[in-house]
Structure 1
Amino acid sequence: MSVSMYQATVPVFIRGLRVVSNLLEKAQSHVEEAGIVPEIVLGAQLAPDMLDLTAQVQRASDTSKLSIERLSGVAAPRFEDNEVSFEQLQERIANTIAYIDSINAGQLAGSAQREVVLNWSDEGKKFSGDDYLLSFALPNFYFHVTLIHAILRNNGVVIGKLDFLGPYD
């Protein structure tokens, strides 16, 4: 069975972002029930040299929407990375999902062969669309989703593997 670039992107990113949204809901409930100052959890890091929870959510949002932009050619919304609350992070996730959900299969047609260039250096890193998706975009997205889960677990939020995997429809 062949999977289209649409099937490998839009529903995958939306599902992952919904997982992030559910994790944030559980984190907010934990903070409220335990009387924890929200900024403590929002600013929590897994290690001193890693980004905090808020930045991990921002990166999951950016990775998903910019991956879709690079593959479809449809400009993604830009966010200022100024979220300071669970509510603002939820709004960012909802806006990211709305953009991704607006992309149709036709807009991703031919994207497996589209050249994607990431400008990490003067010469940049060039990928075909399918190599970009499979070797960079999806691993990077799930890296951030995994860190969100790990930071929350490390801060006492009662979540497990099924929360990371999300619901199966």
Structure 2
Amino acid sequence: MTSTLHRATIPVFIRGLTIVSDLIGKGMRHAAERNLDPSTLVEARLAPDMLNLAGQIQRASDTAKLSAARLSGVEAPSFPDNETSLEALQARCAKTIAFLRTVPAEAFDGAAERDVPMFSGERRRVFKGEEYLYAFALPNFFFHVTTAYDLLRQAGVPIGKLDYLGSFDDPV
């Protein structure tokens, strides 16, 4: 099968967000079983200057939807960063997945050579679509997914590598 930017984007982001949602579900069960306040998980941080769990999931969501939009030319929905519960974070993942499923494969035609401007403070760069996906979008997405996993794991949620990898039966 020929690899396309659509195949390297939409199914990968959907799978990652599905796994994050499953991890959040395990966090919810852990909190309920241990009579813990679930907001401690939502607010968990690895370091004082890092985003909390909510911020990590919000950034994974934003990276997925905005990367799909930048590469396909489809407009991404805007979600306010106002999730304060594990349930709301799962809903954010579900909304992002629902959007990703609407992006047609043919919208990625020519995406490899499409200009993708990126601005972050003083840093400015124009990528070609393929370089943007592989050098920025995917690494950024998985940074936030991995950090969300790490936060839950550090908080005592009984998850491991196989939970992060997800089911091998779910195709990408």
TM-score if structure 1 supplies the norm length?
A: 0.97
Hey, what does 1:120 align to over in structure 2?
120
CA contact (8 A) 2:54 2:83 kept: yes
Q: Report how far residue 87 of structure 1 moved.
A: 1.2
What does the per-residue CA deviation read over 1:87-110, in whole Å, with 9 as the maximum and x for residues that have no partner? 111111101000001112101111
Hey, what does 2:19 align to over in structure 1?
19
Hey, what does 1:52 align to over in structure 2?
52
Question: Partner of 1:124: helix, strand, or coil?
Answer: strand
TM-score if structure 2 supplies the norm length?
A: 0.95
* Distance of aligned partners of 1:36 and 1:121 in 2 relative to their CA distance in 1, 3 Å threshold: closer
CA contact (8 A) 2:45 2:52 kept: yes
Q: Report how far residue 2 of structure 1 moved.
A: 3.7
**Structure 2 spans left out of the alignment, 5+ residues:** none
Q: Write the mapping of 1:1-169 to structure 2, written as runs, cut at 5 A.
A: 2-121=2-121, 124-169=124-169
Q: Report how far residue 121 of structure 1 moved.
A: 4.7
Question: Partner of 1:158: helix, strand, or coil?
Answer: coil
Q: Match of 2:57, as an amino acid?
A: V
Q: Match of 1:26, as an amino acid?
A: K
Q: For 2:49 and 2:121, locate their aligned partners in 1 and report how far apart those are by CA, in whole Å.
A: 22
* Distance of aligned partners of 1:125 and 1:21 in 2 relative to their CA distance in 1, 3 Å threshold: same
Q: For 1:121 and 1:44, locate their aligned partners in 2 and report how far apart those are by CA, in whole Å.
A: 26
Q: For 1:17 and 1:69, locate their aligned partners in 2 and report how far apart those are by CA, in whole Å.
A: 16
Q: For 1:144 and 1:127, locate their aligned partners in 2 and report how far apart those are by CA, in whole Å.
A: 21
Q: For 1:17 and 1:142, locate their aligned partners in 2 and report how far apart those are by CA, in whole Å.
A: 10
Q: For 2:100 and 2:16, locate their aligned partners in 1 and report how far apart those are by CA, in whole Å.
A: 12
Q: Match of 1:157, as an amino acid?
A: V
Q: Which runs of structure 1 show a deviation greater than 6 angstroms over 4 or more consecutive aligned residues?
A: none
Q: For 2:120 and 2:43, locate their aligned partners in 1 and report how far apart those are by CA, in whole Å.
A: 27
Q: Report how far residue 38 of structure 1 moved.
A: 1.1
Q: For 1:110 and 1:121, locate their aligned partners in 2 and report how far apart those are by CA, in whole Å.
A: 28
What does the per-residue CA deviation read over 1:15-44, in whole Å, with 9 as the maximum and x for residues that have no partner? 000010000000000011111111111100
What does the per-residue CA deviation read over 1:49-72, in whole Å, with 9 as the maximum and x for residues that have no partner? 111001101011001000001111
Q: Report how far residue 122 of structure 1 moved.
A: 5.8
Q: Aligned residues, how many?
A: 169
- Bigger shift: 118-127 or 100-109? 118-127
Q: For 2:17 and 2:122, locate their aligned partners in 1 and report how far apart those are by CA, in whole Å.
A: 32
